[in-house]
């Protein structure tokens, strides 16, 4: 797998996160839309995608108490060449689904307490090329 790495994330660190027995792993069967596509979606289409992501995350991650501190690694596999996401904005829909549900965010599955820096120690989004019709997004959550 050929990953485009951020300057602060070495390939050894990525392997350590992915292979750790403590890491919670989930797969979404589509590549999460890029920010410009996400912002142009109709609000009902966004809600439908968030609902889909929440169901797929809940299917892979066992139910338990929300994590107080964690790091999240998101690997987006797509056939298209994607520019690097230095601001990790692709992660926003995924993080919205990982936090505890609230009135403003009913699609949360309660894996992490909140997506603020107090609880979320780091987020990295990596992009990987894959074959046509094999798009997916892998989410790795490492409790700290």
Q: Is the pLDDT of residue 89 over 60?
A: yes
The answer to whether residues 69 and 117 touch, using CB atoms and an 8 Å cutoff, is: no
Q: What is the CATH number of domain 3-143?
A: 3.30.1330.70
Q: From the CB of residue 49, how many other CB atoms can be counted at a distance below 10 Å?
A: 19
pLDDT beyond 60 at 4: no
Summarize pLDDT for 29-63 with one digit per residue, the tens: 999 988 888 999 999 999 999 999 999 999 999 88
Tell me 95's DSSP state: H
Q: Quote the CA–CA distance of 137 and 20 in Å, as a whole number.
A: 19
**pLDDT tens digits for range 103-137:** 988 999 999 999 888 998 888 888 888 888 889 99
Residue 2 pLDDT level (bands cut at 50, 70, 90): very low
The predicted structure's pLDDT at residue 5: 45
- CB atoms inside a 10 Å sphere around CB 42: 8
What three-state secondary structure class fits 4?
strand
Residue 92 to residue 105: CA distance in whole angstroms = 12
**How far apart (Å, rounded) are the C-alpha atoms in residues 96 and 110?**
10
């Amino acid at each position: 797998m050929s990953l485009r790495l951020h300057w602060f994330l070495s390939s050894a660190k990525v392997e350590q996160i992915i292979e750790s027995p403590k890491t919670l792993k989930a797969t979404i069967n589509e590549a999460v839309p890029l920010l410009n596509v996400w912002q142009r979606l109709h609000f009902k289409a966004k809600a439908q995608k968030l609902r889909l992501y929440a169901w797929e995350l809940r299917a892979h991650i066992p139910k338990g108490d929300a994590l107080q501190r964690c790091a999240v690694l998101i690997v987006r596999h797509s056939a298209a060449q994607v520019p690097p996401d230095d601001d990790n904005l692709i992660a926003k829909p995924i993080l919205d689904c990982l936090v505890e549900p609230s009135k403003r965010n009913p699609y949360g599955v309660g894996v992490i307490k909140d997506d603020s820096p107090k609880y979320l120690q780091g987020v990295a989004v990596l992009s990987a090329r894959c074959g046509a019709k094999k798009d997916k997004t892998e989410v790795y959550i490492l409790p700290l």
